[in-house]
Amino acid sequence: MATRRAFLAAAACAVMLTASKRLGAAPVFEVIESEWQAGGLAGTFAEARNGPRTAPAVLLIAGSGPTDRNGNGPAIATDLYRQLALGLAGAGYRVLRYDKRGVGASAALVRREEDLRFNHYVEDAALALASLRARSDTDAVFLAGHSEGASVAIRTAAQSPVDGLVLMAGPGRRLDAILADQFRAMNLPDAMLGRALAILSTVAAGGHVPDVPKALRMAFRPSVQPFLASECAVDPAAELARLTTPTLLLQGTRDLQVGAQDLDALARGRPDAQIVQLSGANHVFKFAPSERSGNFALYRDPRIPLHPDMLPSLVRFIEART
Q: What's the pLDDT at 17?
A: 36
Domain boundaries, given as residue ranges, for the chain: 2-174+234-319, 175-233
- Give the SS3 label for residue 215: helix
What is residue 225's three-state secondary structure? helix
- pLDDT at position 19 is 30
Task: Look at residue 18 in the predicted model and tell me its pLDDT.
Answer: 31
DSSP, residue by residue, 40-91: TEEEEEEEETT--SSEEEEEEE--SSS--TTSB-SS-B--HHHHHHHHHHHT
CA atoms within 13 A on the CB side of 142: 28
pLDDT in tens, 164-194: 999 999 999 999 999 999 999 998 999 999 9
Query: Model pTM?
Result: 0.90
For 310, how many CA atoms within 13 A lie in the half-sphere containing its CB? Answer: 33
Q: List residues bridging with 32 in a β-sheet.
A: 47
The listed range with the strongest mean pLDDT (22-26, 29-33, 48-52, 286-290) is 286-290
Average pLDDT over residues 266-271: 97
Contact 108, 40 (CB under 8 A): yes
Mean pLDDT, to the nearest integer, of 76-89?
A: 97
Model confidence at 71: pLDDT above 50: yes
Model pLDDT, residue 125:
98
The pLDDT of residue 16 = 39
- 58 has a pLDDT exceeding 60: yes
Is the distance from CB of 169 to CB of 255 less than 8 angstroms?
Answer: yes
Pairing between strand 41-48 and 94-98?
A: antiparallel
For the ranges 15-19, 93-97, 108-112, the lowest mean pLDDT is seen at 15-19
Residue range 2-174+234-319, CATH number: 3.40.50.1820
Q: How far apart are CA 45 and CA 27, in angstroms?
A: 16
Q: DSSP states of 101-170 as a string?
A: TTSGGGGGG-S-GGG--HHHHHHHHHHHHHHHHT-TTEEEEEEEEETHHHHHHHHHHHHS--SEEEEES-
Q: What is the per-residue pLDDT for 27?
A: 47
Q: What integer is the mean pLDDT of 203-217?
A: 96
Residues above pLDDT 70, as percent of the chain? 91
The pLDDT value given to residue 28: 67
What confidence tens digit (pLDDT) does each residue in 293-321 have? 999 999 999 999 999 999 999 999 999 99
φ and ψ at residue 146, rounded to 5 degrees: -110, 130
Instruction: Answer whether residue 6 shows pLDDT above 80.
Output: no
**Whether the predicted pLDDT of 14 surpasses 80:** no
Please write the tens of the pLDDT for every residue from 122-160. 999 999 999 999 999 999 999 999 999 999 999 999 999
Whole-angstrom distance, CA of residue 244 vs CA of residue 158 = 9
* CA gap 81, 96 in Å, rounded: 10
Q: Measure the CA–CA gap between 249 and 85, rounded to whole angstroms.
A: 18
Burial class of residue 271 (count of CB atoms within 10 Å of its CB; 0-12, 13-18, 19+) = exposed
Per the prediction, the chain carries an average pLDDT of 92
